[in-house]
Structure 1
């Protein structure tokens, strides 16, 4: 990775990229990342780390999204409640059949309009799916009836007792971990940007589980690191 310094930045891209990768790959706070960098001889404040995230997070998210391979044609959708600045919000999330996150959207409501907005956002980025899996929330069915492009697709509702079969339920766990590590989310826009990049970073490493042989897992991790470095260079 090139060690060129972005304009008006004291540290090179290798340091900035390493700090952002630690922050978004693991449930660490900015002060935790500051301490890890300090152990490696890099003196940087947590406020600088915050500014790096504000500047580079949206750019990295877009760059990683464009570099992702084609996703599956089976969508699993679900929503979870998160507190942002003491106000209840709903995090809408969609994954494919392999567990890769397609997109997330933070909204204040859980009604038909919110579900429709999320479907439109997904259709702007991906092809029409073959099957859509959701829970029993009525807003999904109402939104699907309003979107004629999805009328011909198979729609499957997963009952509450079978939620363990819904892949998106498991994809909420990293979000809860990040929420605890940051002692809660403070601002809606920053939360959306952070979770969007966190989802793309999770996609880079989602296939390096223990079920993958050790050699293949190391090669996948190396490929994910190279993809991150390339995206960091383009974003800068």
Structure 2
């Protein structure tokens, strides 16, 4: 309030600081549960449809997200590899009827079990396929899409990726996914301040 700042300056700040803030926020993010809901949603970039892969856990917390130009098996596997590397193995993944996501889960699960160097036997990840069971993530997509709709699309894939990461971070802040020792229920402004400090 009381400042006169051009919207392009704010855009440059978002592009510059979003990745750094997201990295710091992820260090404070609380652990996710063992049941995940995975899906992708459409995002318009330069008039073409691209995809935002997302996963949430059974509590509705965001597990991970990945912006991709294509919706195919390599993109789904790249997303799952990233999720498994950062958060470990879930007990169950709920997906819609997508054959691509089903193949990606099976393939990534097999690779992850082969990579595991411990002597324990790992159970395979259970896959539940139903478009009705995945309503939870569809509702979560809606909150992200509502924010993007007013932006009238993106001009480049690079800026789309960075801005979407900022939008996802604010969405996680609204869900209070970060742990702060001094303040157990901080506002979004306080979370920004504590993350940036």
| CA distance in structure 2 between the aligned counterparts of 1:110 and 1:52, rounded to whole angstroms | 30
The unaligned stretches of length 5 or more in structure 1 are: 1-39, 208-218
TM-score by length of 2: 0.83
Equivalent position to 2:62, from 101, 126, 138: 101
Counting matched residue pairs gives: 181
**Deviations 1:172-225, CA, capped at 9 Å, x for gaps:** 112221222111122112111111222122122226xxxxxxxxxxx7343x44
Corresponding residue of 1:29? none
Which shifted more, 177-186 or 60-69? Answer: 177-186
1:220 paired residue number: 185
- What are the residue-to-residue correspondences of 1:1-236 with 2, within 5 Å? 40-147=1-108, 148=110, 149=112, 152-158=124-130, 160=131, 162=132, 165-206=134-175, 220-222=185-187, 224-233=188-197
The match for 2:120 is none
The alpha carbon displacement at 1:120 in A equals 0.5
**Bigger proportion of residues as helix:** 1
Taking only aligned residues, the RMSD between alpha carbons, in angstroms, comes to 2.1
Q: Distance in 1 between matches of 2:126 and 2:172?
A: 26
Question: Cα deviations across residues 115-152 of structure 1 (Å, max 9, x unaligned)?
Answer: 11110011121011111010010012211232213661
1:19-59 per-position Cα deviation (integer Å, ceiling 9, x unaligned): xxxxxxxxxxxxxxxxxxxxx21111112111211211110
Contact 1:89 1:109 in 2 (8 A): yes
CA distance in 2, matches of 1:220, 1:230: 12
Query: Is the 2:60–2:136 Cα contact (8 Å) retained in structure 1?
Result: yes
- Structure 2 distance, partners of 1:220, 1:180, is 29
For 2:119, the equivalent position in structure 1 comes to none
Query: RCO higher in 1 or 2 (8 Å CA, sep ≥ 6)?
Result: 2
SS in structure 1 opposite 2:80?
A: helix
Match of 2:181 in 1: none
> Which of 1 and 2 has greater Rg?
1
CA distance in 1, matches of 2:189, 2:44: 32
Report the Cα distance in structure 2 between the residues aligned to 1:195 and 1:100, rounded to whole angstroms: 17
The normalised TM-score by structure 1 is: 0.70
